[in-house]
Structure formats: C-alpha cells, structure tokens
C-alpha cells in the first residue's frame, strides 16, 4: 500500500474553520437525525456559504435543493459532513476526494472503536485522505463549530437552544460530550468561543492539530483542551511549543491519570496510554497548565480570559485581605501550599491601612476586621493602599457570602468599581460565592471571582505560570546521531559503567578480577580501602546474596572477601554466569541519588532523578522529564526533589556538587537518546554527589536492552 506524508500539526484546518461551502452526505429532513441536524443548525444560525444536502433521493431537504451524489454539485465545497453508516463512508470519502473537498467530518460511528472490521474501514478513510491531501476529522466524533463564521459540522445538542457567543476561547476535545460541556459552561459564564473541535477516534486530525490550529488562529487567545491520550509525542510537543511561542496559554484536562483510568482511555480510544507522570512533565516543559477536574478547567479558563492578553500576574507575590483573622490564615495556608509567596508589605502601606482602619492587622494576610464592610470609602482606602504597594503582584480579597446580602453587595460593588477605575493595571481577584448576576458584575470589571479559598490559590498559581510563558527556555529535541550500542555494554555492571563513562559520566577507577591474588594486587593499585562486588548478569541484587563487601583495608581482607563472595554466589545463585569480582575504591561521604532512564510507550526515553540508595523505591522522591534535558533543566529537576535541602547545605551540612550532578543527568539523557534503539532502561544507583567542587561518581549501574538479542551469550 502506498504511504503518504502525515500533515504538519494544524495544517488544513481552515477548511473547517472558514468553509465557504458545506456538503452533508446522508442529509435528512428529520432534524433529530445526525444527517438532518447539521443542516438545521446551519440554516438556524445563518450560515452565509452554500449548503449542499446529498441524498440518493435528491429533491429538496429542509427547503434546500438536494443532490443525489457529490459528483452533481455545482461547485466543490470546502467541507463535507459524512453521516452515513460506516460501511458506506468509504465510498463517500472517495467521492469527496474526486470533487476536491478539502476537509471531511465523519460523524458516523462503527470504526476502530467497534473492532477489527471497523478499524479496517477507518484505515481506508485515512488512506484516501492522505492520498488526496484532505484532512479528516473523526470518525465517531461530534465535529466542529466555528462561531463567528457560523460554520457548523456538528450535531451537538448544545446548538439546540442557542449558538454560544463569539469570543476568544478555543476548545479542542477528544471526547465530544466533555467538550460540549466545556462549551456550554464557557458560554454560561459570559465568555465567547472562537472554535470548538471534537476529534473522536483521531484517525487523522488529533488534539495536537486542534491546539496548533488554534495557536495560529487570530480570534483565539486561550486554548482549553480535554485530552484522553496522546498518540504521537512529537506532534503534541510541537503544537504546545507553537502555542507557547504565540503566547496562547493552553489549559489541559488530561483524564485517565490512574491505572484504571488509563486502561479505560485505551479501551475507549484504541490507543496506548503513556505514563501520567511523564505527560505531566511534558506539559510543564512546554508551558501547558494541567488541571485535574472540569470545574478547575472552567474556573481557570474563565479567570485567564478576563485578564488576557496583558493582565496576567508579573510574579508570584500575593497579598491577602479578609475581614476575619481565621479566614486570613486559611488563605495564607492555601497560598503557600500552591507554591506562591506572601508579599512583604511596605511600611508606608501599613501606615495607609491604619489611617483608614486603626484596628486592622497590617501583616500579610491583612486582617481588616468587620469594619472594612461598613462603608465603601473604608474598603476603597484599604484596597488603594494595597494597590499602590509595589511589593505585590496580586491582591486577593475574601468576601465569603457577602454578595448575598443586599447592603454588603452595594458596599463592595461601589468600592470595587472605584478601585478598578483608579488602578486599571493592578491585579485584583475576589474569593466569594454569590448570585450569578453579582459575580457577573464583578467579572465585567475585569476582576476574576473564584468560589473558594483553595480554588483561588490553585487558580492564581495557574495564572502566574501563564504570565511566565514567555520566560520559559527554548526546548529542543535530540538532534544528534542515533548509534548502536555494543552489546557487551549490557553484560554486567563494569561494562555498563564503561559505556556510560565514554559519555562523560564519572565512574570509579575499577577492574574485574578472577582470583583472590589478583584481587589483592588490584586493591593495592586502587588504594585502600576498597569494595569487592560480584559481577554477573544473572545476579541483579548483589547485596541480598552477600555479593558486596565494603571497607576492606588490606590485602588479607581482600583475599578473604573474594573467597567469601564466590562462596555466597555458589550457594545462592549456583546457576549464575560469573564474570568475576569487581575491585572498586571505597568512596565515602556525600549524598546518594538515583538516576535512570525508562522508556515511555509514547514519549520514548524518559530521564529520572530521585532519592538514591536502598530507600529509592520507598521514598518515591523523584522527578522525571522526557530526554534529552539540558543542564539547566537537569538542575531544576534536582532542585524539585524533597531531599534537595540536604544537597543545599541544610542543618550545617556541606553543600553538594549539584552542578556536577546536573551535568551527569544531562549526559545520561543524551546517552539514552543516542542509543534509543538499543536501550530500554538504565539504572544508576547510587550516584554519590560529593561536596561542592568535588563532582559525582556512579557507584553502581545496570543497562537493560530493548531486545533480547543485545544481551551477551
């Protein structure tokens, strides 16, 4: 079968966004059927282009001239909607290609999600699309809506009552129902939608296409994404990078984060789900904000849309204002837990507050007491003092349920309007629940309202990260050569270390010996004290069988240790292939890390660093990122660990050589990319991080091949 190039992410989606003519294959007079609903909606909402119903019976459908086939159309439509059974869809797709359609939406189900026969039909659709340069949305999808253009390729119930208002929020979702829910709620909050894309089975167009197209769309400023799984790592990262470079924030609801959820996602979409921690790391690297609930997606999206393009926080310093000390403490706890900083108020700011509220607590959080709600001028004066403080990036005011009280609502509204008028460039957010019209009134001032303390802290953390998109470092994939790795590297610890050392990763000066006398001779060369370790590809956990002896101080101790180790191997692993005993210097001091490589089924080599030694699996203190990583990225990973204070000199300890550790981690990630075809996993544990300026050394290492043929005989 001929193969054709896969389109670049986002290419050709203008055929859906800006379609000047739309054909509906399987058109129906019945507006409850999927072949009738798109026509009904196009007419209802005043689509300006040509509508071409296609049905073998011809005639007139919903008042529009119908055609018996696509070949009868007077002109080639930009977009065609296929709403016929799966078995008839391939012929319809071929007809679309023959008349020059540029984009096809297949609403029908019965494809890959239905089993092997459906998957074969889906593959035929893709082959036709690729051969003729068409883009295919679906199959088994809810389609697309471009609000301002009135272009509708969907049968969604969200259009039954009204079209969402036009605006700056673009929505792309694998799940049609989740995406529809997002559209409805965005509209309900008074925001406008630019485009909605539901990708369904993603036979051709995927979430990456949607993100990339929206990133290049002049109407879209904010992208909301509902994602089940990623099929192509390179396409997703390129799309996210494009959005970042175009300053279009992407907020992602990635469902399927648990083992059970990932299994369900794979069953639902017919795709292999990658590791949740890995995709989390990818989102962080490319500036996408991940949320864990649909409510969080909508809250953060709403707040961001009020502030874009120029009103996002410039930093993470937050000032908190409440009429209650208790609520202020709760706000402070949530703020710090979200990774934000409490501002240090200027002495002049405190004086200004006390002039208005003599009994106020002027530390941050500011306890304004109940008097703050007595009169609008009191609240105005307090907020004005905070707005003028240059040591804060965001001021958060807690109103509790006050908006339900008519008098208090009046006080707060008057004060907020005046403050917004006087300080239009200062960022203020409100934490409150209240009547929808009251919340809308505050939103209309450009002030985000979050319903709770934790939601506000989480939302502010997201807004701060959005404000830092432009400062994210450039991220590039591996551009070096792919090279085979000598299969001898997989033989044992020594050969693994030598392969890593060739990449510039520090390992001890050591040697394999096969007799007690040779061990003693090598120990003299190495210098006492030394370590002896059994070397065998069949013994993974050397310590557990007595295969490692430490701190050997003289030749006699080394000879005895050699015999002891060989006896232990014979007893506990009698069938193991033995390469000898490794003589290594006994290196003391420093901190232990684990560094390693695993292989994600979607994103390929993944680099990991964490707490090392025997507690690595227990502590689960790790950071991951797709390989390769730069030294700056590697250092950021190390700094994110819970044990980092120990590396950084906590409690009078010597600072560890974090720079050298980052260098080793970056080199490891490059090694993994260079030998990605051969290496499945790498385990360097422990990696001893010595005091600052003294470097690191890999004390133990294991390489696992991707294919059994790479192991030695």
CATH number at residue 516: 3.30.1490.20
Q: What is the pLDDT of residues 138-191, one digit of tens each?
A: 999 999 999 999 999 999 999 999 999 999 999 999 999 999 999 999 998 888
| DSSP codes, 96-161 | HHHHT-SEEEE----SGGG-HHHHHHHHHHHHHHHHHT-EEE-SS--EEEETTTTEEEE--GGGTT
- Residue 614: pLDDT band (50, 70, 90) is low
The partner residues of 397 in beta bridges, in order of sequence, read: 321, 430
Residue at 193 is within a domain: yes
Same domain for 398 and 430: yes
Task: Give yes or no for a contact between 528 and 557, defined as CB atoms under 8 angstroms apart.
Answer: no
Same domain for 341 and 264: no
Token duo for residue 687: 């990696």
Q: Is the pTM of this model over 0.75?
A: yes
Q: What is the pLDDT of residues 13-33, one digit of tens each?
A: 999 999 999 999 999 999 999
Residue at 1 is within a domain: no
| DSSP codes, 448-487 | -EESSHHHHHHHHHHHHHHHTGGGSPP-----S------G
Residue at 478 is within a domain: no
CATH code, domain carrying 396: 3.40.50.261
Token duo for residue 345: 């108020």
Residue at 420 is within a domain: yes
Whether pLDDT at 392 is above 90: yes
CATH code, domain carrying 182: 3.40.50.720
Same domain for 564 and 658: no
Taking residues 662-689, report their average pLDDT: 95
Q: Is 241 exposed, middle or buried (0-12, 13-18, 19+ CB in 10 A)?
A: buried
Residue at 484 is within a domain: no
Domain count of the fold of the chain:
4
Reduced to 3 states (helix: H, G, I; strand: E, B; else coil), residue 666 is helix
Same domain for 238 and 129: yes
Beta strands (DSSP E) in 553-603 are 580-585, 591-600
- Dihedral sign of CA atoms 683, 689, 695, 700 in order: negative
In angstroms, rounded to a whole number, what is the distance separating the alpha carbons of residues 465 and 186? 21
Task: Please list, in sequence order, all residues whose beta carbon lies within 8 angstroms of the beta carbon of residue 228, skipping any fewer than 6 positions away.
Answer: 174, 175, 254, 255, 256, 265, 268, 269, 271, 273
Q: In whole angstroms, what separates CA 186 from the centre of its chain?
A: 22
Omega before 365 within 30 of 0, i.e. cis? yes
CA angle centred on 153, ends 152 and 155, rounded to 5°: 95
Structural domain including 635 reads: 591-710
Of 712 and 233, the one with more pLDDT: 233
Last residue of a domain, one of 471, 500, 528: 471
Same domain for 191 and 74: yes
Residue at 273 is within a domain: yes
Look at residue 19 in the predicted model and tell me its pLDDT. Answer: 97
Quickly count helices (H) and strands (E) in the chain: 23, 30
- Residue 377: pLDDT band (50, 70, 90) is confident
Task: Please list, in sequence order, all residues whose beta carbon lies within 8 angstroms of the beta carbon of residue 283, skipping any fewer than 6 positions away.
Answer: 240, 252, 254, 289, 290
Same domain for 464 and 410: yes
Same domain for 267 and 179: yes
Last residue of a domain, one of 289, 305, 321: 305
**Buried (b) or exposed (e) across 333-342, using 16+ Cβ within 10 A?**
ebbeebebeb
Same domain for 414 and 372: yes
Whether pLDDT at 49 is above 90: yes
Same domain for 554 and 659: no
Helix axes 453-467, 294-307, angle to 10 degrees: 50
Whether pLDDT at 622 is above 80: yes
In angstroms, rounded to a whole number, what is the distance separating the alpha carbons of residues 287 and 467? 10
Whether pLDDT at 372 is above 80: no
Residue at 551 is within a domain: yes
Q: What is the pLDDT of residues 309-341, one digit of tens each?
A: 889 999 999 999 998 889 999 999 999 999 999
| DSSP codes, 296-339 | HHHHHHHHHHHHTTT-S-SSSEEEEEES-HHHHHHHHHHHHHTT
Phi-psi domain of 695 (left: phi exceeds 0; alpha: psi -120 through 50; beta: other): left
Same domain for 269 and 130: yes
Residue at 110 is within a domain: yes
In angstroms, rounded to a whole number, what is the distance separating the alpha carbons of residues 333 and 88? 60
Task: Give yes or no for a contact between 136 and 126, defined as CB atoms under 8 angstroms apart.
Answer: yes
Percentage of the chain exceeding pLDDT 90? 81
Omega before 529 within 30 of 0, i.e. cis? yes
In angstroms, rounded to a whole number, what is the distance separating the alpha carbons of residues 337 and 330? 11
Q: Among candidates 100, 58, 329, 301, which has minimal Cα distance to 191?
A: 301
Look at residue 152 in the predicted model and tell me its pLDDT. Answer: 98
CA angle centred on 493, ends 489 and 498, rounded to 5°: 50
- The phi and psi torsions of 454 (rounded to 5 degrees) equal -65, -40
| DSSP codes, 674-688 | HTTTTEEEEEEEEEE
Same domain for 449 and 522: no
Same domain for 627 and 599: yes
Q: What is the pLDDT of residues 547-585, one digit of tens each?
A: 999 999 999 999 999 999 999 999 999 999 999 999 999
CATH code, domain carrying 683: 3.30.470.20
Last residue of a domain, one of 285, 305, 325: 305
Return mean pLDDT, the chain: 91
Q: Which of 246-255, 264-273, 325-334, 372-381 has the lowest mean pLDDT?
A: 264-273
């Amino acid at each position: 079968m001929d193969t054709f190039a896969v389109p670049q992410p986002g290419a050709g989606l203008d055929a859906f966004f800006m379609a000047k003519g739309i054909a509906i294959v399987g058109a129906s007079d019945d507006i409850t059927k999927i072949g009738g609903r798109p026509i009904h909606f196009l007419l209802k909402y005043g689509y300006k282009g040509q509508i071409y119903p296609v049905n073998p019976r011809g005639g007139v459908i919903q008042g529009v001239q119908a055609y018996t086939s696509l070949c009868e159309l007077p002109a080639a439509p930009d977009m065609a909607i296929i709403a016929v059974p799966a078995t008839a869809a391939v012929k319809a797709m071929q007809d679309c290609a023959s008349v020059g359609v540029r984009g096809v939406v297949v609403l029908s189900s019965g494809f890959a999600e239905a089993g092997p026969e459906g998957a074969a039909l889906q593959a035929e659709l893709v082959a036709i699309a690729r051969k003729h340069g068409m883009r295919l949305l679906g199959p088994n999808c809810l389609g697309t809506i471009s609000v301002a253009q009135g272009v509708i390729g969907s049968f969604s119930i969200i259009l039954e009552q009204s079209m969402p208002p036009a605006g700056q929020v673009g929505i792309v979702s694998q799940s049609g129902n989740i995406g529809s829910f997002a559209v409805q709620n965005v509209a309900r909050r008074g925001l406008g939608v630019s485009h909605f894309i539901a990708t369904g089975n993603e036979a051709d167009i995927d979430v990456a296409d949607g993100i990339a197209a929206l990133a290049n769309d002049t109407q879209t400023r904010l992208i909301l994404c509902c994602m089940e799984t990623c099929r192509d790592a390179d396409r997703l990262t390129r799309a996210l990078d494009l959005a970042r470079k175009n300053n279009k924030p992407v907020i992602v609801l990635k469902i399927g984060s648990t083992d059970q959820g990932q299994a369900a996602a794979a069953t639902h979409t017919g795709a292999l789900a990658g590791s949740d921690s890995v995709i989390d790391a990818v989102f962080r690297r490319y500036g996408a904000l991940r949320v864990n609930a649909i409510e969080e997606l909508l809250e953060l999206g709403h707040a961001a849309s009020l502030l874009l393009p120029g009103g996002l926080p410039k930093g993470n310093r937050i000032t908190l204002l409440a009429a209650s000390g208790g609520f202020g403490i709760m706000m402070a706890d949530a703020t710090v837990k979200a990774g934000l900083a409490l501002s240090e108020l200027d002495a002049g700011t405190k004086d200004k507050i006390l002039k208005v509220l003599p009994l106020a607590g002027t530390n941050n959080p500011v306890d304004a007491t109940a008097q703050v709600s007595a009169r609008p001028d009191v609240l105005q004066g307090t907020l004005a003092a905070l707005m003028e403080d240059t040591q804060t990036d965001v001021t958060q005011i807690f109103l509790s349920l006050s908006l339900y009280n008519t008098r208090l609502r009046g006080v707060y509204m008057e004060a907020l309007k005046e403050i917004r008028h006087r300080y239009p460039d200062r960022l203020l957010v409100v934490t409150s629940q209240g009547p929808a019209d009251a919340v809308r009134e505050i939103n209309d001032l450009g002030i985000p309202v979050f319903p709770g303390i934790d939601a506000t802290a989480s939302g502010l953390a997201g807004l701060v990260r959005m404000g830092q998109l432009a400062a994210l470092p450039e991220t590039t994939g591996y551009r070096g050569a792919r090279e085979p790795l000598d299969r001898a590297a997989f033989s044992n610890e020594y050969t693994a270390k030598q392969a890593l050392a060739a990449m510039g990763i520090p390992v001890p000066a050591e040697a394999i010996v096969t007799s007690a006398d040779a061990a003693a001779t090598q120990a003299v060369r190495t210098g006492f004290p030394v370590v002896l370790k059994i070397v065998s590809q069949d013994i993974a956990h050397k310590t557990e069988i007595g295969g490692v002896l430490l701190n050997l101080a003289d030749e006699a101790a080394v000879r005895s240790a050699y015999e002891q180790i060989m006896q232990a191997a014979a007893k506990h692993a009698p069938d193991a292939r033995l390469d000898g005993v490794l003589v290594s210097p006994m290196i003391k001091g420093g901190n232990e890390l684990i560094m390693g490589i695993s292989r994600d089924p979607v994103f390929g080599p993944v680099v990991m660093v964490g707490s090392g030694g025997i507690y690595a699996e227990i502590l689960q203190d790790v950071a991951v990122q797709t390989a390769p990583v730069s030294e700056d990225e590697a250092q950021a990973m190390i700094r994110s660990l819970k044990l980092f204070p120990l590396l950084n000199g906590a409690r009078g300890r010597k600072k560890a050589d974090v720079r050298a550790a980052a260098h080793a981690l970056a080199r490891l990630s490059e090694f993994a990319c260079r030998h990605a075809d051969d290496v499945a996993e790498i385990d360097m544990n422990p990696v001893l991080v010595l005091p600052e300026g003294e470097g690191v050394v890999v004390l133990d290492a294991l390489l696992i091949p991707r294919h059994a043929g790479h192991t030695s005989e």
